[in-house]
Structure 1
Amino acid sequence: MSKRLPRPGQRGPLLTQKRQLKMARSAHAYVRGNTTRFYEWLERAEATLPHGPAVWICGDCHVSNIGPVADADGKVEVQIRDLDQTVIGNPAHDIVRLGLSLAMAARGSDLPGVVTAKMMEQLIEGYEQALSGKSGTGRTRRERPKSIHLMVRKALRRKWKHLAAERIEGLEPNIPLSRKFWPISDAERSKLKTLMASEEVRALVTALSRRDSQDRVELLDAAYWVKGCSSLGLLRYAVLLRVGKSRDPESSLCLIDIKEASRSVAPRDKVVGMPKDHAERIVTGARQLSPHLGERMLASRLNGKAVFVRELLPQDLKIDLERLSQDEAMEVAGYLGNVVGRAHGSQLTIEQRAQWLRELGRNRPKTIDTPSWLWRSVVQLVQDHEGGYLEHCRRFANVPA
C-alpha cells in the first residue's frame, strides 16, 4: 500500500484535487468547503446585517462544526468543535452561516420550503433564548432534541477502541498507511518527535484526569493526515503517543491532531485587537467559544509554520444531518442556534446581551418571526451556492480520483 501512496514532495496537487472532488459530492459539502466564497457572496447580498458586539465568533459556523465535545475530566457538552476561522467579529456572521448550512441540510432531506422558513424562525428563537438571562443559567438553555440527546449518550459510552477503529483502523499501536494516512519524510518525523518531547505537549496530554502529570510521553508513530475539506493542502499530521507505563490502551494511547493554522477569511473587528499568530488566535478563540475543546489545545510551531495541537478524544463527535423529518429539522435548528448563542453570550455582560437582543429584534416583519436580514441573506446565499455548486461539479466531478 505504501508504495502506491504519494511521497511528501508529491502531496500538493493531489490534495488540491481531492478537495475539489470532495466538494463536488453534495451541495452541503460544497457549503462546508467554501468559507471564502461564503463571505464574498455575503458581501454582495442585499440584506444589511445587524452590527453586533465585537466577540469571538466561529467564523465557519456550519452544522458539522458543532457537536459533542469532552473536557479533560470526561464531561461532555455540545459546543462548537472547529475554530480554524475564529476571529473577533460580528456574531451575525455565525448566525447567517449556520442558517445557510441548515437550509442546505433541509434541501438535502427534500423538505418543503416552508420548513426551511420555520427552521430560520427556530434558529433565531433559540439564539435569542441564550441571551435572555444571566449566562450559564437554565433559562438560557434549550432542551436537547431527541437526535442530539442520543448522540450525547453515544459519546459518553465511547472508548479508545471506538476512536481507534474510526481514525486509525485498528487497535495496534501504529498508524497504518492508507488513503487517509500518507508517509512522512525522516525530517518531518524528526521535527514531530522534537515537538512531542516538549514540556508543553507533555502537560497537554497528561491533563486528562486519568493520567499523572509526571507521566512519560513516547512517540509511537506518525503520518500525514488527509483530512477535512477546506484544510486540505495545509500541514496536517496524526501522531500516536504512549503516555505513562501502562499498556492499557484506554489510558495510555493518545492520538494527536496537528494542524497548520492559516489566516482566517472571516471579517474581523478593526478596533479590538487579537493575537497576530494564527495558532494563538485559534486557541484563544476556542477557549472563549468552546471551553471543553480550548483547554485541550496548544499553539506551537512546526517547519516554521504556526500549528495547533490537540488530543482527539472518543467522545468528540460531529453532528451529521443526512436525513431530517420536519419536526426534527425545526428542533435541531432551535437547539443549534441556542448553542451558538450561548457561546457568544458567555462573552457579554447582561447589559451587552440586552442591547444585542434589541438590535436583533429590529425590523422584524409582522408575518414571520425570522428577521428580514437573516431570511433574505439565507435565500440569496442558497441561490448563489446552488449555482456555484453546479458549476463546481461541471468543472471537477468528472476528474479521475
Structure 2
Amino acid sequence: MTKKNITRNKLSNKLPKPDARQALLTTRRNAKMARSAHAYVRGNTSKFYEWLDGIEGHALPEGPAIWICGDCHTGNLGPVADAQGRVEIQIRDLDQTVIGNPAHDLIRLGLSLATAARGSDLPGVTTVRMMEAIADGYERAFDEAAGIADIHAEKPEAVRVVMREAVRRSWRHLAEERIEDLEPTIPLGPRFWPLAKSERREIETLFEKGSLARLATVLRGTGDEADVEVLDAAYWVKGCSSLGRLRYAVLLDIDGAAVEGDDLCLIDIKEAAQAAAPRYPGVRMPRDNAERVVEGARHLSPSLGERMRAARLAERAVVIRELLPQDMKLTIEQFTRDEAMKVARFLAMVVGKAHARQMDSAERKAWLTELRRNRSKTLDAPGWLWTGIVELVSSHAAGYLEHCRRYATGRDD
C-alpha cells in the first residue's frame, strides 16, 4: 500500500461513515440556514409554496402550461456551458422543475432579490424599484417589438465578473478545486466523505452501461468505443436542499491511457425527489423524478439539459451530469442600489427567455398582455407580484427568526 493510500485510509476513518451522515447533515443544514435570511429563503422551497398558498386573497394569473424552474432563486442561476463550450447565464438547478405556472418562478425570484436587498441594508424604495425592474426585464423576453438588442442587454457588473471568470476557466481550474496529486483522486475532507463498499460497487456498475459512459465521451468526441473507468468516488456534502438524498462526486478516466486533464471527467450524481412546486392539473410529465428533472432542463436550460441523464442507483432515481469548468453559481449576497435594479432586470430577463422559448407567438402575446394588466399609478409592476412578495418577505422573516431560535437553543419544538 502506498503512503498516499495509507494517509487516505487514516483520513477516511476520521470522517463520517454512511450510517452517521444524516444527523451531521441536518446539523450542517440548520447552521447554514441560520447564517442569513437569504440562505433561509434558498433552503426552504416547500415553505415558500405553503406560505404562498396561505396568503389571504392571493390570486395569481394562470400563465401558459410550460416547464418552470420551481425554485427560481438567485443561487440557481449562473453561467452554464454547452457541449461546444459556449457559456450563457441560465437556470442551473432543476430539482423542482414541473409543468406549472410561470408566475411562480417570477415571485420566487422576486422574493430572493428582495431578501438580498434587505441583507444589503438597502431602503424599501429600492425594493420597490427592483420589483419594477423584474417586471420590465421579464416582459422584454415576450415583447417581440423589444428586439434582440433588448433581450441581450448589457449585463450588470456582478454578472460580467462571474462570466469573465467562467469563460477563462479550464479543466485545470476544476481540478485544482476538486482533485489533487498526480494520481487523481477526490480529496476526502469536509466536502467529500468516504463511501461504503456497496456504494462504490453500485457506482462502478452504473458506468458500465454504455448509455451513461457515452455521457462522458460525447463532449470529447472520443466516440462510443472509448473506455470509461471509475477512478474515484465520494459522497458529496453539498447544498441545503439535497439533505438526506444521495449525492456523489465521481471521477472518470475516459480512454484508459495516461491520466491527463483531457482524459478526466468529473460527474455529479444527485438523487431526484418529489418536487414541492405545484404542477398544473391534467398535464403529462414523466413519472420518474429523474426523467422529470432532465426533461425540464432540456426545455429551460438546453445547455445543461444536453449534459444530463436519468438513471437508477440503489433503487432510487438519480440525475447524472458532467461538471464543466464553466459551470458556476451566481452568488449575490450584497449589492448597491444601482446594481440592484440592473441585476433584477437581467435575471428576470434570463427567466423570461427560458419561459418564452417554450411558447408560440400567440401564447407569448397573451401572457404579455396578462402581465401588463392592472398596473397602478404608483407601481409599474403587476399588483399580484408586489402583494405576493410583500407577504412572503414577512412570512420568511418570521420563519427565519424562529429557525434561528431553535438553532440557538438546540431545540426542535
**Alignment TM-score > 0.5, same fold:** yes
Q: Give the letter for the 1:184 counterpart.
A: L
User: In 2, distance between residues paired with 1:76 and 1:158?
Assistant: 11
Which residue is 1:12 aligned to?
Answer: 22
Match of 2:187 in 1: 176
Return the match for 1:69 from 76, 80, 96.
80
Following TM superposition, by how much is the alpha carbon of 1:374 offset from its aligned partner in structure 2, in angstroms?
0.6
Q: CA deviation at 1:146?
A: 2.4
Which of 392, 396, 401 is 1:385 aligned to?
Answer: 396
DSSP 3-state at the match of 2:252: strand
- d(CA) in 2 for partners of 1:271, 1:143: 40
Tell me which residue corresponds to 2:7. Answer: none
Task: Return 319-328 or 92-101, whichever deviates more.
Answer: 319-328
State the Cα distance separating 1:213 from its structure 2 match. 4.0
Identity value in percent: 58
Instruction: Judge conservation of contact 2:178–2:186 (CA < 8 Å) in 1.
Output: no
For 2:181 and 2:242, the matched residues in 1 are separated by 25
1:45 to 44, 55, 80: 55
Cα distance in 2 for partners of 1:136, 1:64 equals: 28
Q: Which stretch shows the higher mean deviation, 133-142 or 311-320?
A: 133-142
Q: After superposition, what is the alpha-carbon deviation per residue over 1:199-256, rounded to whole angstroms, capped at 9, x for unaligned?
A: 1111111121454443211100011111111111101111011112454633111110
State the aligned residue count. 400
Residue 21 of structure 1: how far off its partner (Å)? 1.6
Do 1:159 and 1:250's aligned partners in 2 also have CA atoms closer than 8 Å? Answer: no
One of 212, 221, 241 as aligned partner of 1:230: 241
Give the structure 2 partner of residue 253 of structure 1: 264
1:25, distance to aligned residue in structure 2 (A): 1.3
Rate the CA distance shift 1:152–1:388 in 2: closer, same or farther, 3 A: same
For residues 374 and 180 of structure 2, the distance between their equivalents in structure 1, rounded to whole angstroms, comes to: 53
Match of 1:207 in 2: 218
CA distance in 1, matches of 2:43, 2:181: 29
Letter in 1 for 2:36: S
Check whether the contact 2:76–2:93 (CA below 8 A) recurs between aligned residues: yes
Q: How far is the alpha carbon of 1:184 from its aligned partner?
A: 0.9
- Paired residues of 1:215 and 1:243 also in contact (CA < 8 A): yes
CA distance in 1, matches of 2:182, 2:336: 37
CA offset digits 1:15-43 (Å, max 9, x no partner): 22221221111111100100000000000
Paired residues of 1:59 and 1:266 also in contact (CA < 8 A): yes
Cα separation, partners in 2 of 1:332 and 1:238, compared to 1, 3 Å: same
What is the identity, as a one-letter code, of the residue corresponding to 2:17? R
Q: Which residue of 2 aligns with 1:91?
A: 102
Matched, 1:117 2:140: no
Q: What's the offset of the Cα at 1:172?
A: 4.7
Does residue 186 of structure 1 match 2:197?
yes
Distance between the aligned counterparts of 2:33 and 2:333, measured in 1? 16
TM-score (norm 2): 0.93
Aligned to 2:360: 349
Q: 1:277 aligns with which of 254, 266, 288?
A: 288
* Residue-by-residue CA offset, 1:140-186 (whole Å, 9 max, x unaligned): 33331222122112101101222123334667510121121111111
Counterpart of 1:286? 297
Superposed counterparts of 1:98-137, under 5 Å: 98-133=109-144, 137=148
**One-letter identity of the residue aligned with 1:18:** R
* Segment of structure 1 superposing worse, 356-365 or 15-24: 15-24
Deviation, 1:335, is 0.3
Quick one: which amino acid aligns to residue 161 of structure 2? L
Identify which range, 161-170 or 320-329, moves more after superposition.
161-170
The corresponding residue for 1:81 is 92
**Which amino acid in structure 2 is aligned with residue 124 of structure 1?**
A
Counterpart residue identity of residue 350, structure 1: S
Q: Is the 8 A contact 2:51 2:392 kept in 1?
A: yes
Retained in 1: the 8 A contact 2:186–2:192? yes
Aligned partners of 1:135 and 1:346 also within 8 Å: no
Q: In structure 2, how many angstroms separate the alpha carbons of the residues matched to 1:134 and 1:246?
A: 54
Gaps of 5+ in 2: 1-10
Distance (whole Å) between structure 2 residues aligned to residue 135 and residue 294 of structure 1: 28
Specify the SS of the correspondent of 1:207: helix
Q: After superposition, give the CA deviation of every residue in 1:344-392 in whole Å (9 maximum; x if it has no partner).
A: 0000001100000111111111111021111111111111111100110
SS at match of 2:219: coil
- Name whichever of 171-180 and 107-116 sits farther off: 171-180
Deviations 1:104-131 (A, max 9, x none): 1111111111111111111110000001
| Whole-Å separation in 2 of the counterparts to 1:393 and 1:248 | 47
Structure 1 residue matching 2:29: 3-state secondary structure: helix
Q: In 2 relative to 1, CA 57–135 (structure 1 residues): closer, same or farther, beyond 3 Å? A: farther
Which position in structure 2 is the counterpart of 1:25? 35
Name the structure 2 match of 1:142: 153
Q: Which ranges in structure 1 are unaligned for 5 or more consecutive residues? A: none
Cα separation, partners in 2 of 1:149 and 1:182, compared to 1, 3 Å: same
Q: Which residue of 2 aligns with 1:195?
A: 206
1:70–1:316 CA contact under 8 A, matched in 2: yes
Mean Cα deviation higher: 146-155 or 207-216: 207-216
Q: In 2 relative to 1, CA 118–172 (structure 1 residues): closer, same or farther, beyond 3 Å?
A: farther
Whether contact under 8 Å (2:178, 2:187) holds in the other structure is no
**Residues 194, 40 of structure 1: alpha-carbon distance in 2 compared, 3 angstrom cutoff:** same
Distance (whole Å) between structure 2 residues aligned to residue 167 and residue 41 of structure 1: 38
Q: Check the 8 A contact 1:134/1:350 in 2, yes or no.
A: no
